[in-house]
Chains A and B, each alone.
Chain A
Amino acid sequence: MIQRYNSVLILIGLYLVLAVISPLFFRMQNLVNIFMQSSITAIVALGLSLPILTGGIDLSVSSTAALAGAISAGLIVRSGWSVFSAIGLALLIGIGIGALIGLLVVLGRLPPFVASLSLMAVGRGLTLIYTEGKPISGLPAGYIALGSGSSGSIPNLVILLLILTFMTHVLLSRTRYGHHIYAIGGSADVARLAGIPVGRITISVYALSGFAAAFSGVLLTARLWSAQPTAGTGLELEAIAAVVIGGNSLMGGYGNAFGPVIGALIMGGIGNGLNLLKIPSYIQQVVRGLVLIVAVMADFRSHRNNAAAI
């Protein structure tokens, strides 16, 4: 576990360094940019942090996001659905994909890695089929406002993120459901023995992760003004990195709702900094991979130290 406050320190340190390196960094426009960019990752990471807290993983988030974006856009543009019902159905599909992963894990006894990896492929395939490989554009203003508009001077994306973060925080720290998620991550056997419905909760955390992924897909589409068949590629890596850098343990049972958001802001800051330094995007991919390695090493190392201390 990267300690809870370390991630905040990393965030502050990173932003200070970037500010020193590039005078453009602390401009309002740039900061808003980072926040908006990070919000989408952060929302995925918030959802994804739930399966991770139970000791699982969900790799399907990127393709679920793409599928939800494509379907919501397609239903509106091609089939004349209302924005509300199109997005509603897209979110339901996200929940459905997540629930399916959960069912495969609980009833099919598949490792979460395999279950979600399979559905990642399925989701991406369905997206390509539905979009025929082409972007869907021509979205109405009401849809686009979700991702690109603002209320007062605060971007809608940021408001949505704050609401979701608060809800996740309450869910994890104050509800029985949240406590049971930690319990399952600590030890599924212990949880079962305490009468906690482990199977149902496991299925539901994947459903919530699917919901968050789908929601972020809709927001991404709204931000890009069109649904791209390859949207969200690599989002799972970004989100997993955010969860781990934020201090939640990849082994489950430890973490909170703020970690993933801080982690996403760190990842966003790194991406933005690399852009400001005019580092080509291909190299940025390499950096992201390396950051994940370092973060997970730190997680495992502190976990081992913790175990040794016992």
Chain B
Amino acid sequence: MATITLRGISKAFPGVRALKRIDLSFWPGEVHAVVGENGAGKSTLMKILAGDYRKDSGEIQLFGRVEELGSPRGAQQMGIGMIHQELTLLPNRSIAENIMLGREPGLGLVNRKLMIQTARDNLKQLGLELNPMAMVSFLPIAVRQLVEIVKALSLNAKILILDEPTSSLTETETRILLDMIKTLRERDMTLIYISHRLEEVFEIADRITVLRDGQLIATKSINETNPSEVVKMMVGRELGDIYNRVATPKDEILLEIDKLGGKNFRDCSLVLHRSEILGIYGLVGAGRTEFARALFGLDPVISGKVKIEGKQIERLSIRAAIARGLVYVPEDRKTQGLFLELSVRKNLTINMLDSLSYWGLLSFRRLAEVASGLIERLKIRPPELFKRIRHLSGGNQQKVVIAKWLSVQPKILVLDEPTRGIDVGSKAEIYALIDKLATEGVGVIIISSELPEILGISDRILVMKAGEMVGEFQREDATQDGIMHLAAGAES
């Protein structure tokens, strides 16, 4: 018998039909991947299953009985656990307190012994030897995720929804998580796995459901399909090579970094040519972001020299960097790249207000012109000046972050994880944009932890490990194995 059967689930938000009559069943002992582009409706569907949203129509059967989930709490009590993308553990509390949160044993007074013992038992059931009294803030992200799973299971979850669980994990950590998922499958749990990473999906899922524009496109057994077919179903069109490279690097050197050292990186040297796309690959924690931040003057530099167009920069600072045409697009667009509550227009023009004002007053007409121009050039959707950034999709938000820097006519663009958490279609557009900028003579440094992306987009690839540049590949010689070998150390 299916653990969950959905019949005709629909949900509309003001102006949008988010889900249209979804019929779907989940079985015990299966890992069921749900994939789709951003805005396809997968998170809406999962939120309905987790009791966050109420469906407009249709019915949900749990173990054959029609149920109303009502609230996240209600869903939890009926055995549906959700592991959110943002972890939901309290950092300043112990593992035990987190696992037992809201269910602390004892009447009024908490029975600490029992609480700790119960937590320890729960951890043991999944083979985790952790001190239940340890503060969560001291645990690595991956371990926190496991604790989160333990918490869900201790609530007697029969169904576990994992929303992009590997997005902030290193490769090794991902392995541990995937193994855990396999263990849970053997215990006849239903696992619903949402991910952008198709490699993972194909490794772990038994069945895969593709959503597009709120509709269920297909549910297939993993043996009957392949990644390219899934991508095709996701985007609804043939997606040619998403890495369509036109630009070719020139000989002229734009940027020369000599033995730059700072917090978490040292002796990093590189050369960037005009119209070149240089990829920097490294595992999480390799020091890539720290390197880029220091280059842009965000963090202090201890040693080394930086030359832009042959001229040495005396002191790295954000002002100096921008003045010389070097800009950095940070990895977390929501907290570092955008003003989520402000309009598209304001976000696009924030870096050029000086040049758009007369006698100290802003010209709204000029602002609108410039913003419209950028919207057109980068195909930002919807093309509305006054839409709040929060309401744009991840891909379009990313375009806005890049666009706002184009206004200062950069010569060197440093992009840190430019496609994290955005869908395939938007990725292709971002790649096309990067290539176009390179054609126009911009030198691009792209930092990424997605190997296919680095391999697909870069003219040259530098590998970073433990704060140092450990290798360099030309586009032709680069292979996944070769890069991984360097990035991960001896074995890969």
A interface residues with partner B (beta carbon < 8 Å): 170, 174-180, 182-183, 186-187, 189-196, 253-254, 306, 309-310
Contact = CB atoms under 8 A, between A and B. Distances in A.
Interface in B131-184: 137
B108 A193 contact: no
Determine which residue in B72, B93, B103, B112 has the highest number of CB atoms from chain A within 10 A of its CB, and name it.
B93
Contacts of B14: none
A174 B109 contact: yes
B102 interface: yes
Nearest to A306: B137
Given A183-B101, A253-B92, A195 B73 contact: yes
A306 B72 CA distance: 30
Given A189-B88, A195-B76, A253-B92, A176 B137 contact: no
Main SS class of interface, B: loop
Interface of B: 72-73, 76, 88-93, 97, 101-104, 106, 108-110, 112, 137
Contact of B110 (A179, A186, A310): A179
Contacts of A178: 110
Nearest to B88: A190
A176 B92 contact: no
A82 to B, nearest CB: 32
26 contacts: A174-B110, A175-B109, A175-B110, A176-B109, A177-B108, A178-B110, A179-B97, A179-B104, A182-B93, A183-B90, A183-B93, A183-B101, A183-B102, A186-B90, A187-B88, A187-B90, A189-B88, A190-B90, A191-B101, A191-B102, A193-B76, A195-B102, A195-B103, A253-B90, A253-B93, A306-B137
B108 A186 contact: no
Contact of B91 (A191, A195, A310): A310
Main SS class of interface, A: helix
Contacts of A176: 104, 106, 108-110
A128 B414 CA distance: 62
B169 to A, nearest CB: 14
Contacts of A195: 73, 76, 102-103
A186 B93 contact: yes
B137 A192 contact: no
Contacts of B112: 174
B76 A186 contact: no
Given A179-B97, A179-B104, A190 B137 contact: no
A178 B97 CA distance: 12
Contact of B73 (A170, A186, A193): A193
A97 B417 CA distance: 50
Determine which residue in A170, A191, A310 has the highest number of CB atoms from chain B within 10 A of its CB, and name it.
A310
A69 to B, nearest CB: 32
Contacts of B89: 190
Contact of A182 (B72, B73, B90): B90
A177 B102 CA distance: 10
A194 B101 contact: yes
B490 to A, nearest CB: 29
A190 B91 contact: no
A3 to B, nearest CB: 13
